Amino acid sequence: MTKIKHPEITVQLSGQDGNAFMILGLCKRAMERAHLQQEEIDRFMKEAMSGDYNHLLATAMTWFDIE
């Protein structure tokens, strides 16, 4: 099992619009609420957007606690 990078951050994806822009926005807002540095937010965004939709979901699941 992969270790979650920021297990203290929970992102609620179930019941949400599942398009990529919505997912990115939810993750970014969760990181901002957790007061992560901008460099860390940029690192996530770059990694999450470097592939297809499945890569985005996989990246979110390795960075955060996803519900």
Task: Encode pLDDT of 22-49 as tens digits.
Answer: 999 999 999 999 999 999 999 999 999 9
Using alpha carbons, select from 2, 1, 13, 11 the residue that is nearest to residue 65: 11
- Distance of alpha carbon 9 from alpha carbon 53, whole angstroms: 21
| Exposed/middle/buried for residue 67 (C-beta within 10 Å: 0-12, 13-18, 19+) | exposed
pLDDT for 52: 97
Do 45 and 62 form a contact (C-beta atoms < 8 A)? Answer: no
pTM metric for this prediction? 0.91
Alpha helices in 8-67 (DSSP H): 20-33, 38-48, 53-63
